[in-house]
Amino acid sequence: MPFTRAYFSQQDSQWKEDILGFGDPGDTIGYVGCALTSLTMLVSGHGYAETPKSFNEKIKAKNGFISAGIRWEAVSQVHPQVALKSNISCDTSDAPLAQIDAALSAGQPVVVRVDSSPAAGLQWHYVLLYAREGNDYLMLDPWPYNAGANTHDLLLPRYSHGNSLSRAIQQVLIYECTTSGGGTVSTPAPTPVTTTPPQPAPVTGSPSTSGVYARPTSEVTAFMNLRSTTDTVSTGNVIGQIFPGTQLLLLEADGPSKIGINGQMLRVRTPQGQEGYVAAWFLERVSTSAPAPSAPTPSTPSAPASQPAKPASQPAPSSTAQPAPVDSGIKVVVSSFVDAKGLSVYMQASAKSAVVAAEPANVTLAVVEPAATAKPKIGISGQWLYVRASNGKTGYVRANFLKLAK
């Protein structure tokens, strides 16, 4: 179906200062919102009227962010007609140009990641490709070099840095829209989220248990919400908070098959006997034996939990001890996207722990955890990497702001 170009700038004053997802105060749309803005142009071009502001809020309502990193599948949770078909990493291989061409020929624009600067290190940037032109692609770039949907903006002159087209692209995200929406927008006023879907009946009774336990994954560094219904948009159904390490008994016979699956909600029971629903994609399976009771889960959150990854407060960690450094031989480079304050190095894998150093852009750091666990995390949102800072101290940094040193 036809795609109509709709342009947005992540630097637009209507949303540039908005916090992206559940990120830290400095993680604004204007600073790190290129992926969100590219996706906004994609869905709006298919007729689903969004702005970066409205789309940010709707994806947040679906728990579609890990800190400031988008879960790519969350787009279809907001607009079910827009489904992610391929997510291809090509940092160390040629980009699949034939697949990109096929998608564009079918009227499906493609989000790609490029390197925004020829400087050493990681400078991730996302743009939206909408047509092939010779040995290049026409793009809509959320960073406003040439703002507007009708400009003739090619990828290679700005982002090749001497590389071929197949090597200038580092990641490819192909979405397929099956039904057009109700209209496109190019210079809209902010669109607030005004509707709440119908809620299922609240939790009642005590169903049979599956005998299987699950706990929050390492991506949950603060808490996750326990809800009385499966609705993830409303905050009125939040009945408690689940902290890292808490083991939850699954109360559904098919519960084990939902663990780790995006868009699934699981009915669980806490060690204190409280029952409710949690997001299955933030859970991992543990032993089938009953765990020892942990600290009580508050029955009523102290504040509305509209941002589950950013609570007003966090329990103190049980220990501030760090693991023994392991010389992995791996070096990583800090992204040039970090601001003047630099990339924070935390004592623990949590933005709520003490900061032991701040590393400027393009500095090289040594990884001090085993190579087998470190390499898969480099450049990945929601992951933490154990490194040695320039001041000699060890700590954790957000892995999505790192690139493997050449």
Q: What is the pLDDT of residues 8-32, one digit of tens each?
A: 999 899 999 999 998 877 788 988 8
Q: How much is the average pLDDT of 371-390? A: 84
- pLDDT at position 304: 30
Q: Poorest-confidence range of 92-106, 215-229, 285-299?
A: 285-299
Here the contacts of 86-93 (C-beta below 8 Å, separation 24 or greater) are 86/172, 86/173, 86/174, 87/171, 87/172, 87/173, 88/171, 88/172, 88/173, 88/174, 89/170, 89/171, 90/169, 90/170, 90/171, 90/172, 91/170, 91/171, 91/379
* Residue 7 tokens, joined: 């342009």
- pLDDT at position 129: 96
Q: Poorest-confidence range of 148-162, 212-226, 246-260, 297-311?
A: 297-311
Q: Report the C-alpha gap between 12 and 142 in whole angstroms.
A: 10
Contact 144, 16 (CB under 8 A): no
- pLDDT at position 67: 81
| Residue of 343 and 281 predicted with greater confidence | 343
Sheet holding 248-250, edge to edge: 238-242, 224-227, 275-279, 265-269, 248-250, 213-216, 283-285
Residues 6+ apart with CB under 8 A from 315: 243, 295
Domain topology for 213-285: SH3 type barrels. (2.30.30)
Residue 199 has pLDDT above 60, yes or no: no
Q: Poorest-confidence range of 33-37, 94-98, 207-211, 323-327?
A: 207-211
- pLDDT at position 389: 93
The pTM is what?
0.49
Instruction: With cut-offs at 50, 70 and 90, classify the pLDDT of residue 122.
Output: low
| Residue of 340 and 123 predicted with greater confidence | 123
Q: Which CATH number fits domain 29-177: 3.90.70.10, 1.10.645.10, 3.40.50.920, 3.40.50.1220?
A: 3.90.70.10
Average pLDDT over the chain, rounded to whole?
79
**Phi then psi for 140, rounded to 5 degrees?**
-110, 115
Instruction: With cut-offs at 50, 70 and 90, classify the pLDDT of residue 143.
Output: confident
* Residue 225 tokens, joined: 């919400």
pLDDT tens for 241-299 read: 788 788 999 998 888 888 877 668 889 998 888 899 988 877 888 865 445 444 443 33
- pLDDT at position 394: 92
Token pair 């998608």 in the structure block, residue: 103
- pLDDT at position 293: 43
Residue 30 sits at the vertex; the CA angle it makes with 38 and 336, to the nearest 5 degrees, is 90
Q: How much is the average pLDDT of 295-307? A: 34
- pLDDT at position 254: 86
- pLDDT at position 337: 64
Number of H helices, E strands in the chain: 9, 21
Residue 185 has pLDDT above 50, yes or no: no
Residue 304 sits at the vertex; the CA angle it makes with 299 and 307, to the nearest 5 degrees, is 110
Q: How much is the average pLDDT of 305-325? A: 44
Q: How much is the average pLDDT of 176-187? A: 59
Two domains, one topology: 29-177 and 331-404: no
Residue 135 has pLDDT above 90, yes or no: yes
Domain topology for 331-404: SH3 type barrels. (2.30.30)
Give the helix/strand (H/E) hosting 30. helix 29-32
> What are the boundaries of each domain within the chain?
29-177, 213-285, 331-404
